[in-house]
Amino acid sequence: MAEFCRDPPYPSRRTWLSAVLFVFGACVASTALSQDYPSRPIRIIVPFPAGGTADLLARQIGQIMSEALRQQVLIENRAGAGGNIGADLAARSKPDGYTLLMGTVSTHAINPNLYPKMPYDPVKDFAPVTMVARMPNLLVVHPSVPANNVAELIALAKARPGALAFASAGNGTTQHLAGELFKKMAGVDMIHVPYKGNAPAVTDLVGGQVQVMFDNIPVSLQQVRAGKLRALAVTGPARSPVLPELPTLAEAALPGYSITSWFGLYAPSGTSPQIIERLNREANKALATAQIRRRLTDQGIEPAGGTPGQFADFMRAELVKWGKIVRESGARVD
Amino acid sequence: MELLANLQLGFEVALTLQNVLYCFLGVFLGTLIGVLPGIGPVATIAMLLPATFALPPVSALIMLAGIYYGAQYGGSTTAILVNLPGEASSVVTCLDGYAMAQQGRAGPALAVAALGSFFAGTVATLILAMFAPPLAEVAFKFGPAEYFSLMVLGLIAAIVLARGSLIKAIAMILLGLLLGLIGADTNTGQFRFTFGLPQLADGIGFVVVAMGLFGFSEIIANIERRARREVVMAKITSLFPTREDLKASWKAVLRGTAIGALLGILPGGGATLGSFAAYTLEKKVAKDPSRFGKGAIEGVAGPESANNAGAQTSFIPLLTLGIPANAVMALMVGAMTIHGITPGPQVMTERPELFWGMIASMWIGNLLLVVLNLPLIGIWVKLLSVPYRILYPAILLFACIGVYSLNNSAIDVALALAFGFLGYLFIKLDCEPAPLLLGFVLGPMMEENLRRALLLSRGDPTVFVTRPLSLALLVVAAALLVIVVVPAVRRKREEAFQE
C-alpha cells in the first residue's frame, strides 16, 4: 500500500478514487477472508533442520492447532545461514495467514545484530503472533574440571588464563555469546571452540576435549543426570524447575548476567489482525494443554504464550540487549 | 548370561505382531525412498514424525530406524542400475556396480549387495548388542586431532581409489577440497565463495554434487552412445550370482563388515568413510587391481557390506549416550523427545525394553529386507529394458524431486544440473569423479578438525604425533602412501633402464 500511494507524484482524482476503492475492497476482502479462515492448509516455516528444538516445538504445537483450526498444519524446514533463509522466505510470503514462521532468538534478536547484510527486518517485516517457549542455557563442565561452583570456575580461569576452552554450536549462537558475556563479566580468558551444531560440541565436551560449555538445556540435561557432565549454573533470570538446586549465574557470581533462548510464532507483516488474533488464541490453547506443558518442562523448556503485543515488546527489548552483547563480544559473521 | 536375557527381552518386544508390522513398514518405506534417487531418509522421517504420535514409542522408533537402514539397502539399487548414488555411501557402489550392470550383470550385483548387507547387518547388530557401551567410550577417545589424522588417511586412500592417471586423481581431489570450502567457515564465520548468495552460506549439499556428477552426467553421456546401451539390454544373462561370484565376494563381505562396523562408531563422518575404505582395501588386496571400475564383484560386495554395518553401528552413540551421529539420528532424538523419552545415557538402564527391542528389531528388519529385496531383483533388472526415452526422463524427474526435497530449494536443483554438465566434461576428459567427492566430503571436516585441534593445543602442532591414536593413524597413512608411490617409482626406474 505504501508503494501505491507514493508512486505517482501528483495523484489525479481518478487515482485517488481507485486508491480509496482499492483500500475499501481490500478491507472487505480481508474480513471475508478472516471469517472463513483457514480454508486451506497452513504452513509453518522452521528455519532450522528437522529434529531440533525449534522444529519439535513447531511440530507439536502445529499438531494441536491443526485439530482446533480443522486444517492441516504443515511444517517446512528451510535451514541455512543461521536461520536467515527460512525467516527471509517467511518475510516475503503473502500475509494471508497461511504462512507462519517459528522464529527464534537467533533469527529475531541475534542475527540482525550479527550479520552485516540482513535480508529482512525483524520488526518491520513480521507481525508477532505469540512467544512459544523459552529456556535458559546450562553452564556445564567436564567432570575432570576442578570446579564445583561458578566461583571456583572463575578462580580457576583467573589462575590459568587461556587454559580452559569452551565449546559452542557455532559463531554467533547463544552458546557462543553466553560464553563471551561470561568472560567479559567475570574478567577471565577462555578459548572459544566453535562446532557445527550442538551434537558434535557436546560429544567433545563429554569426551573431555573441551572443558566448558553454555549449552542448551534439553541437550545436556541428560548428560548431567548421568554424571557425564557437571552443571554449575543456569544462565536465565530464574532457577530452572528441572534443576532447582542449581543457582543462576547472576545469583552465583555475576549479578545482572541473563541469557535466555526463546522461540516465537510470527506471521508476515500485513497479516490481518483478526487472523493474528485467531492464531494467537489457538497457539495459547495448544501451549496450555497438559501434555505439551509436561513434555516441555521435562526437558527444561518453559512454555510461554501471551499476547502479540507482549511478544512485540519483549522482542524489541531483546534486539537492544543482544546488540550490546554481540558488540561487546566481538563476534562476527560475514 | 545377561546378554542372552537382554536379547530375549529385546526379541519379546520386537516380535510382537504390531512391532514386526511396523518394522516391515519401515524397511519397506526405506527401500522405496532408497530406490527413488535423492529422496533421502531425513525428509521421509521428518514427514512421518507426526504420524507416529499415536504409536507406542518402541513401535515408532522401530519403524523410523527401519526407514533409515532400509534406505541404505535401496540406495544401492539405483547406484547399480543407473549410476545414481542417493547417499554418500553408495558413491563407490556406482563404480563397479554400474559397470556390472552395463555388462548385463545387474542381477548378481544386486544380489551380492543384498546378501552382503544382510550378513553385515547381522554381525553389526550382534556387535551393537554385545559391546555398545565400551565402543561408545572408544568414540570419545577421538578428539579433533584423531579426526584430522583419520581424514588424512582417508584422502590418501582417495588416491588409491582412482584408476588411471595419478595426476588427474590428485587434481580431482583438490577440486573436491575447493568445492567443500564453499560456505561459512566454522571457526571465524567468514563466508567463502558464496558470491553473496545466502543459499550457499552452508555450502553445497553432498547429494547435489553426487547426483550431478554421477547420475545426470551419465544420462547426458548415454544419449550419444545409445546404440551400445541397447546391446547391453540384450545380453542380461542370469539374475543370481554364480558360484565363482560368491567365492570371489565372501572375503570382501567379511572385510567390508569389519571396516564398516568400526568406522560407523565414530560420530564425525566415520560412516561415510566406511564404504570408501572398504573399496580401497578390496582394490589393494586384489590379485588384479585393474579389474576394479570395470565390474569387479568384490567392489560391490565390500562397500555395500561396510555401508550397512556402519548404518547399524552408527546407532551406538545415539542409543548409549543420546548423542546423534548424523541428521537422521538427530531426527530420532526428536522422535524420542516427542514420545516423552529424553535420550541420554540412562535410556539403556531406564528403558531396557526400548534399547533391546530396537536392537532385536534391527536384525529382524535386516532379515525382512533380504526377503523383500531378493525377489525384487528380477523386477529392477526388467526396469532396465524399459525404453531409454521413457526411463531416463522419469529418472531425471525423480532425481530433481529428490534434490529439491533436501532443503526445499530450487537452487539445489539448478546446482545439480550444473554439476551434471561438469560431470559430462569429466567423462570427456577421462577424469574420475569419485576422488572429487571424497575430497568434497573430507576436506571441510579435515580443515575444521585441524584448526580445532590447533586451537585446543594452543597452536602446538605436535598434538598430531603425541596423541597415540592420532600417531597410529598417521603411520598407517604414511605406509599407504609408500605402497602407492613405490610401484610407480619402481616402474619409472625400469622405464629409465630400458632407455
User: Which helix (DSSP H) or strand (DSSP E) does residue A262 occupy?
Assistant: strand A260-268
Distance from CA of A112 to the nearest CA of B (A): 14
Homologous superfamily (CATH) for A136-252: Periplasmic binding protein-like II (3.40.190.10)
Q: Which residues contact B231 (CB under 8 A, 6 or more apart)?
A: none
Q: Model confidence over A253-279: pLDDT tens digits?
A: 999 999 999 999 999 999 999 999 999
The strand pair at A191-194 and A165-168 is best described as: parallel
Q: Which residues contact B282 (CB under 8 A, 6 or more apart)?
A: B252, B255, B256, B292, B296, B298, B299, B301, B302, B303
Highest mean pLDDT of the ranges A1-5, A301-305, B321-325: A301-305
pLDDT, residue B244, reads: 85
Query: What domain range is B115 assigned to?
Result: 2-143+205-430
pLDDT, residue B491, reads: 62
**Number of residues written out for chain B:** 499
Q: How confident is the model at residue B197 (pLDDT cuts 50, 70, 90)?
A: confident
The strand pair at A191-194 and B191-192 is best described as: unpaired
What cell does B284 get?
589393494
Tell me, yes or no, if B180 comes closer than 8 A to chain A by beta carbon: no
Q: How confident is the model at residue B471 (pLDDT cuts 50, 70, 90)?
A: very high
- Decide if A295 and B340 are in contact by the 8 Å CB cutoff: yes
**Contacting A residues, span 89-118, partner chain B, CB-CB under 8 Å:** 117
User: What average pLDDT does the segment B352-368 reach?
Assistant: 91
pLDDT, residue B499, reads: 45
pLDDT at B189 over 80: no
Query: CA geometry: angle at B446 spanning B39 and B140, to 5°?
Result: 85
* More confident position, A295 or B499: A295
Residues A131, A301: contact at Cβ < 8 Å?
no
What cell does B498 get?
630400458
- Quote the mean pLDDT of chain B: 83
Write the Ramachandran bin of A122: left for phi over 0, alpha for psi from -120 to 50, otherwise beta: alpha
What one-character-per-residue DSSP string does B408-421 give?
Answer: T-HHHHHHHHHHHH
Tell me, yes or no, if A72 comes closer than 8 A to chain B by beta carbon: no
Report which of A105, A257, A94 is spatially closest to residue A174, judged by C-alpha positions.
A105
| CB contacts, 8 Å: A206 with chain B | 140, 321, 323
Secondary-structure class of domain A39-135+262-329 per CATH: alpha beta
In angstroms, how far apart are the furthest CA atoms of chain B?
78
Listed range (A15-29, B184-198, B355-369, B414-428) with the worst mean pLDDT: A15-29
- Decide if B189 and A333 are in contact by the 8 Å CB cutoff: yes
CA–CA distance from B451 to each of A195, B147, B161, B438, B466 (Å)?
Answer: 11, 11, 27, 20, 17
% residues pLDDT > 70 (chain A) = 89
User: What average pLDDT does the segment B126-144 reach?
Assistant: 83
User: What average pLDDT does the segment A35-62 reach?
Assistant: 88
pLDDT at A333 over 80: no
Residue B55: other Cβ atoms inside 10 A = 16
> What three-state secondary structure class fits B38?
coil
Calculate the CA A20 to chain-centre distance.
39
- Decide if A295 and B317 are in contact by the 8 Å CB cutoff: no
pLDDT at A178 over 70: yes
Residues B205, B402: contact at Cβ < 8 Å?
no
Q: Model confidence over B1-31: pLDDT tens digits?
A: 678 888 899 999 999 999 999 999 999 998 8
Q: Which of A55, A79, A222 sits opposite B345 (nearest CB)?
A: A222
Report which of B276, B314, B273, B299 is spatially closest to residue B121, judged by C-alpha positions.
B314
| CB contacts, 8 Å: A56 with chain B | 334, 337-338
pLDDT, residue A4, reads: 39
Answer yes or no: is B177 within a domain.
no
- Decide if A50 and B45 are in contact by the 8 Å CB cutoff: yes
Residues A171, A331: contact at Cβ < 8 Å?
yes
Answer yes or no: is B482 within a domain.
no
User: Which helix (DSSP H) or strand (DSSP E) does residue A46 occupy?
Assistant: strand A42-46
What span, in angstroms and rounded, lies between the C-alpha atoms of B394 and B390? Answer: 6
Closest Cα in chain B to A202: B323
CA–CA distance from B111 to each of A112, B125, B161 (Å)?
Answer: 54, 21, 24
The strand pair at A302-303 and A230-234 is best described as: unpaired
pLDDT at A211 over 70: yes
Q: How confident is the model at residue A2 (pLDDT cuts 50, 70, 90)?
A: very low
Q: Looking up cell 577424469, which residue turns up?
A: B431
Among B191, B194, B333, B337, which would you mutate to test the A interface (most chain A Cβ atoms within 10 Å of its Cβ)? B337
Listed range (A224-228, B55-59, B169-173, B270-274) with the worst mean pLDDT: B270-274
Tell me, yes or no, if A140 comes closer than 8 A to chain B by beta carbon: no
- Decide if A119 and B198 are in contact by the 8 Å CB cutoff: yes
User: Which helix (DSSP H) or strand (DSSP E) does residue B256 occupy?
Assistant: helix B243-264
What one-character-per-residue DSSP string does B443-476 give?
Answer: HHHHHHHHHHHHHHTTT-TTHHHHSHHHHHHHHH
pLDDT, residue B1, reads: 64
What span, in angstroms and rounded, lies between the C-alpha atoms of B318 and B323? Answer: 5
Answer yes or no: is B178 within a domain.
no
pLDDT, residue A1, reads: 35
| CB contacts, 8 Å: A196 with chain B | 186, 448
Report which of A197, A51, A79 is spatially closest to residue B329, judged by C-alpha positions.
A51
Report which of A96, A90, A98 is spatially closest to residue A119, judged by C-alpha positions.
A90
Tell me, yes or no, if A165 comes closer than 8 A to chain B by beta carbon: yes
What one-character-per-residue DSSP string does B55-102 give?
Answer: S-HHHHHHHHHHHHHHHHHHHHHHHHHHS---SGGGHHHHHHHHHHHH
Q: Looking up cell 567479559, which residue turns up?
A: A184
pLDDT, residue B194, reads: 83
- HEC assignment per residue over B379-410: HHHHHCCCCHHHHHHHHHHHHHHHHHHHHCCH
Distance from CA of B412 to the nearest CA of A (A): 12
Q: Model confidence over A223-241: pLDDT tens digits?
A: 898 899 999 999 999 999 9
Query: Helices B57-82 and B17-35 sit at what angle, rounded to 10 degrees?
Result: 30
Answer yes or no: is B242 within a domain.
yes
DSSP-derived secondary structure letter, A301: P
Alpha-carbon dihedral sign for residues B424, B426, B429, B430: negative
Closest Cα in chain A to B269: A200
Residues B220, B424: contact at Cβ < 8 Å?
yes
Answer yes or no: is B168 within a domain.
no
pLDDT at B112 over 80: yes
Q: Which residues contact B243 (CB under 8 A, 6 or more apart)?
A: none
Tell me, yes or no, if B201 comes closer than 8 A to chain A by beta carbon: yes
pLDDT, residue A159, reads: 94
Amino acid letter, B43: A
Alpha-carbon dihedral sign for residues B43, B47, B48, B50: positive
- Decide if A51 and B321 are in contact by the 8 Å CB cutoff: no
User: What average pLDDT does the segment A5-20 reach?
Assistant: 48
User: Which helix (DSSP H) or strand (DSSP E) does residue B364 occupy?
Assistant: helix B352-383
% residues pLDDT > 70 (chain B) = 91
Answer yes or no: is B341 within a domain.
yes
**How many structural domains compose chain B?**
1
Q: Looking up cell 504443515, which residue turns up?
A: A74
According to DSSP H, which parts of A144-195 are helical?
150-159, 174-186
Q: Model confidence over B216-275: pLDDT tens digits?
A: 888 888 777 765 555 455 555 677 788 888 888 899 999 999 999 988 887 766 667 888
- Decide if A203 and B456 are in contact by the 8 Å CB cutoff: no
Q: How confident is the model at residue A35 (pLDDT cuts 50, 70, 90)?
A: low
Q: What Rg value do the Cα atoms of chain A yield, rounded? A: 22
Q: Which residues contact B468 (CB under 8 A, 6 or more apart)?
A: none
Helix, strand and coil in chain B, % to nearest 5: 80, 0, 20
Alpha-carbon dihedral sign for residues B168, B171, B176, B177: positive
pLDDT, residue A9, reads: 43
